[in-house]
Amino acid sequence: MWGLSFVFLGLLFFILFREGNKRIGGLLLTAFLARTCAALIHSYVFVLPSGCCDAKKFERVAWEWAQIDLMSNFDPTSSYLISWLGAILYSIFDRDMLLLQMFNVSLGTLTVYIVYYTASHITEEKYAFTIGWFFALHPTIIENSAVFLREVQIIFFLSLSILFLIKWFIYGRLYQMVTAIICIILSALFHGAMIAGLLVMMLVIGLVLLRRLISLINSPWLKKGTIGTVFIFVIGIGLVAAMGLPSLSSIGNLERLTDADEVASSAGVEVENRTTGNAVYLAGMTTSNPVDMLWQAPIRSIYFLFSPFPWDIRAFPHLKGFIDSGFLFYISFLMWSYRKELWENDVFRYLFYILVIFILVFSFGASNFGTAIRHKSKFLPIFMLFYGLKSFGNMQQTPSTYTYIK
């Protein structure tokens, strides 16, 4: 009952929003309708593939927790943070799985706008709008938004983090940098491996700050924003060093990641655990030491991004993975075609660093098409931004003058 109520409330909201902004309103209304239809199909017609296992478990735990003290089950280091959020909704309303699905539908629709708005900062409006449509109608994104999975929260906070990071590149406001860091941490609370994005983000921020400090050496005055940002950045790193690294879901204590042998061993166990089903790839490739990780990284990354290949399709669900991989191949082709422009533009180059780290990390967490599809969806908001490189094809000026870093 409550779920259907939110269906009608959401529909009314986006219809009214469209009256005030036809272009963006139409995009968001379409995104909401696509996700809502998928949610209704999942609830009343047949179970979607992504909603058969983990989604049911998350929902069951949410109902159990809603009947007891909520705070006693709050554990940001576990994999059930999404269940805790669901328990809050159940404690306010009542048990209705469609209600939890509509929560994800709403968050997924909002993410569509965030992706579009982010793209509008780094490319021309027509390409930003196309990126918004790509994200709104991507089958995997729609399916994940229609069931009670944590991918929606992960993607939402990652998208926000990238938005504020880019805005910090452009405007240099301290709160933008802090917000970017907070959002990527929130994303990592839902899946610990997302912390890899924070590590490379901190490196990127450090490089940008160093460059800005160097530029101020010959300046007759110091910019308060840059000095303040450096101060907060250094203090933050100092606090982490003093307090130690925390534990996160899916990967445990982060201090384990400082041991190369431990990382290789954990990666090997994860790969072995995922080598099941009829969608397995690289089944005979084992990881036992850091050297294995080095030579396997390019191979696993290629399979992670582009499998299943045509000769791997043996069932109808594999076709979905083939379409998904085809889209990533197209974006990768654009990145290669505009590699010179990508490398000479600060924003795209830094986004590329972050994307590569995510690909490397998650490629060792998947050994079958199904897991790979779900993991790839986590960083699709970054991947799709590279479609904006096409704007360079319409420019008369050189890429070095077409920069959004100020």
Alpha-carbon span 339 to 166, nearest angstrom: 20
**pLDDT band with cut points at 50, 70 and 90 for residue 199:** confident
Q: For residue range 53-112, what is the model confidence (pLDDT) as tens digits?
A: 788 899 999 999 988 877 777 777 777 889 999 999 999 998 899 999 999 999 999 999
pLDDT in the model for residue 290: 77
> Do residues 200 and 354 lie in contact, with contact meaning Cβ atoms separated by under 8 Å?
yes
Peptide bond into 308 cis (omega under 30): yes
Higher-confidence residue: 35 or 219?
Answer: 35
Give counts: helices (H), strands (E), the chain.
18, 2
Sequence-distant (6+) residues with CB within 8 A of 283 are: 275, 367
Q: What is the dihedral of CA 54, 271, 311, 355, to 10 degrees?
A: 80
Contact by Cβ (8 Å): 203, 166: no
Token pair listed for 31: 């995104």
- Residue 263 has φ and ψ, to the nearest 5°, of -65, -45
Task: Report d(CA 302, CA 100) in Å as an integer.
Answer: 35
Q: Which of 232-236, 252-256, 304-308 is the least confident region?
A: 252-256
What per-residue confidence (pLDDT) applies to 402?
Answer: 39
Question: Alpha-carbon distance 323 to 339, whole Å?
Answer: 24
pLDDT at 375 over 90: no
Tell me how long the chain is. 406
Q: What is the pLDDT of residues 130-186, one digit of tens each?
A: 999 999 999 999 999 999 999 999 999 999 999 999 999 888 888 998 899 999 999
User: Under DSSP, is residue 406 helix (H, G, I), strand (E, B) or coil?
Assistant: coil
Strands 252-253 and 247-248, by their bridges, are antiparallel
CA distance 188 to 345: 28
Nearest Cα to Cα of residue 282 among 271, 294, 293 = 271
Is 8 in contact with 117 (CB distance < 8 Å)?
Answer: no
Pick the residue with more confidence: 295 or 330?
Answer: 330
pLDDT band at 398 (very low <50, low <70, confident <90, very high): very low
Computed over every residue of the chain, the mean pLDDT equals 82
pLDDT band at 213 (very low <50, low <70, confident <90, very high): confident
Given a cut of 50, whether residue 249 has pLDDT beyond it is yes
Task: Give the C-alpha separation, 74 to 366, whole Å.
Answer: 28
Lowest model confidence (mean pLDDT) among 49-58, 90-99, 194-203, 245-254:
245-254
Position 9 pLDDT exceeds 80 = yes
Which amino acid type is present at position 56? K
**Structure confidence at residue 403 (pLDDT):** 43
> At a CB cut-off of 8 Å and minimum separation 6, what does 404 contact?
121, 122, 166, 169, 170, 345, 346, 347
247 pLDDT above the threshold of 60: no
Residue 264: predicted pLDDT: 54
CB atoms within 10 A of CB 260: 12
CA distance 128 to 120: 5
Are 107 and 156 in contact, with CB atoms under 8 Å apart? yes
Percent of the chain with pLDDT over 90: 43
Residue 128 has pLDDT above 90, yes or no: yes
Q: What pLDDT shows up at residue 404? A: 42
Express each pLDDT in 317-350 by its tens digit. Answer: 677 778 888 899 999 999 999 999 999 998 999 9
Q: Is the pLDDT of residue 117 over 60?
A: yes
